[in-house]
């Protein structure tokens, strides 16, 4: 199999916000070609890898001409002649070439596009889709991820209209990906109708969820509960609510300002508010319930509720294997959100997932708010057997491209497909008994 890299190209394309991003194209000596496009986030952890942007006035400062030049002038010559089938060596070369802890020299946008494109090229050389290439030897059943889908957008995805960033649903009672998506389609439609009937529909948020004109954060939970019921589904049984609090967006140093609720809370106050929601609503997962600078809040929350719900680290863990290990050892979270562009290479993303698995933690592979038609994360979710997939809402083509790709994978697997369903919520690691703020 001819997998030597012959050429690496980079081109400027555009994401779902109309901002420039990078598409990489890797050609192998046997004629196989792989392409991939870098996404971009609006809500970002301070420790995640950074995109390289041009600044200035063009494209509002979001241009990628410098990152594209780095791809052509530095990355392409370095990788030419390397064996693309050795993903770890290729990614190590990218990391060494960049030489910074946060990928500022080359840019995580250029690096992840090349890393993903190389993997696609090798899969093409084998005549396989990427998910099948990543799975390796196909023995028995293949687990398909549980979709986590935004219904209402808030926070940085909806100009802060409400504070909580994502109000989502998961359908662990469904029997297949196809059924989970069908249920979600009805919930999404019911939520839009409810909003329109009550005069609270303000449009569509960044990730395709409804942009709501709610008076408080809890109003969104009430509306989501009603939408699930109107769609004919049983909350807490067939369908669970999932939240991305994204607390770093409205909290610093243990102080949290909830503008929609006209409240400023300390860590204890936010803990009590979230605890009340868990008591009143069928919530199965909470992402970033406290700020990335508030590990004591994470620790207490996970100790108190970690066997009841997923406590997911995003800004808190930033797809960093060392941070994931520390969270597994200390018990500050029981699941990790995996975003390949938070690190800049596929190898580092996989290392974070392997670290989570070593501690019995859950995992969700995730898109970003600035997305494209690229569906690589669907391949990664299946190929790496990550039990959950989060790509935004159930509208807009950059989102639906990914849900449709997952449907095709399920169809291709046929009898080998095993829908994860309830399993992510039935295998949470045990939580320590103590609920004190100290470790």
Tell me the CB-side half-sphere exposure of residue 300, using CA atoms within 13 A: 16
Distance, in Å, from the CA atom of 97 to the CA atom of 92, rounded to the nearest integer, reads 8
8 Å CB contact between 341 and 112: yes
CB 358 within 8 A of CB 29: no
* Beta strands in 29-90, from DSSP E residues, in sequence order: 33-37
Q: What is the mean pLDDT of residues 215-242?
A: 96
Mean of the per-residue pLDDT values for the chain? 94
Q: Which of 23, 48, 148, 339 is catalytic?
A: 339
Mean pLDDT value across residues 156-171: 84
- Binning pLDDT at 50, 70 and 90, where does residue 157 land? low
339 is catalytic: yes
Could you tell me which of 180, 177, 277, 193 has the C-alpha nearest to residue 230? 193
Average pLDDT over residues 68-90: 98
Quote the pLDDT of residue 159: 64
Token pair 């209209």: residue: 161
Calculate mean pLDDT across residues 127-143: 91
* pLDDT attached to residue 433: 42
pLDDT band at residue 205 under the 50/70/90 scheme:
confident
**More confidently predicted of 343 and 211:** 343
Distance separating alpha carbons of residues 150 and 2, to the nearest angstrom: 42
pLDDT in tens, 295-332: 999 999 999 999 999 999 999 999 999 999 999 999 99
- Tokens 């009143």 correspond to 280
Would you say residue 434 has pLDDT above 60?
no
Sign of CA dihedral 331, 333, 339, 342: negative
- With both helix axes pointing from N to C terminus, report the angle between 217-230 and 177-197 in degrees, rounded to the nearest 10: 120
SS3 of residue 64 by DSSP: coil
Give me the domains of the chain, ranges plus CATH numbers. 5-127 (3.30.390.10), 142-426 (3.20.20.120)
Cα separation, 382 vs 392, in Å, equals: 18
Which of 23, 48, 148, 207 is labelled catalytic? 207
Question: Is 411 part of the annotated catalytic residue set?
Answer: no
262 conformational bin, left if phi > 0, alpha if psi -120 to 50, beta if neither: left
pLDDT in tens, 354-385: 999 999 999 999 999 999 999 999 999 999 99
């Amino acid at each position: 199999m001819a997998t030597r890299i012959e050429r690496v190209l980079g081109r400027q394309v555009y994401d779902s916000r109309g901002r420039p991003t990078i598409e990489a194209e890797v050609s192998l000596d046997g004629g196989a070609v792989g392409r991939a496009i870098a996404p971009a986030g609006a809500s970002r952890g301070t420790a995640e890898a950074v995109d390289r942007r041009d600044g200035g006035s063009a494209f509002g400062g979001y241009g990628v001409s410098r990152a594209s030049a780095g791809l052509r002038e530095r990355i392409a010559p370095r990788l030419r002649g390397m064996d693309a089938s050795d993903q770890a060596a290729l990614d190590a070369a990218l990391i060494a070439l960049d030489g910074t802890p946060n990928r500022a020299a080359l840019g995580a946008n250029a690096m992840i596009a090349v890393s993903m494109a190389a993997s696609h090229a090798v899969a093409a050389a084998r005549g396989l889709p990427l998910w099948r290439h990543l799975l390796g030897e196909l023995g028995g059943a293949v687990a398909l991820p549980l979709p986590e889908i935004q219904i209402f957008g808030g926070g940085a995805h909806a100009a802060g209209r409400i504070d909580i960033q994502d109000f989502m649903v998961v359908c662990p009672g469904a029997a297949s990906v196809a059924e989970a998506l069908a249920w979600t389609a009805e919930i999404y439609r019911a939520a839009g109708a409810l909003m329109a009937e009550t005069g609270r529909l303000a449009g569509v948020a960044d990730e395709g969820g409804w942009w709501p004109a709610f008076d408080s954060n809890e109003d969104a939970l009430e509306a989501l509960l009603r939408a699930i019921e109107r769609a004919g589904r049983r909350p807490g049984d067939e369908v669970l609510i999932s939240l991305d609090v994204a607390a770093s967006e409205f909290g610093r140093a243990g102080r949290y300002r909830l503008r929609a609720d006209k409240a400023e809370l300390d860590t204890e106050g936010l803990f009590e508010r979230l605890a009340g929601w868990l008591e009143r609503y069928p919530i199965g997962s909470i992402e970033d319930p406290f700020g990335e600078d508030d590990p004591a809040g994470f620790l207490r929350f996970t100790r108190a509720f970690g066997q009841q719900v997923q406590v997911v680290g995003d800004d808190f863990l930033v797809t960093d294997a060392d941070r994931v290990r520390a969270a597994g050892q200390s018990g500050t979270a029981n699941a990790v959100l995996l975003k390949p562009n938070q690190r800049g290479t596929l190898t580092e993303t996989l290392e974070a997932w392997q670290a989570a698995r070593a501690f019995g933690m859950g995992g969700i592979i995730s898109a970003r708010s600035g997305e494209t038609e690229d569906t690589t994360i669907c391949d990664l979710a299946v190929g790496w057997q990550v039990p959950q997939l989060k790509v935004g809402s159930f509208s807009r083509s950059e989102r639906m491209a990914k849900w449709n790709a997952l449907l095709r994978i399920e169809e291709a697997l046929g009898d080998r497909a095993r829908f994860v369903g309830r399993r992510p919520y039935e295998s949470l690691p045990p939580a320590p008994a103590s609920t004190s703020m100290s470790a």
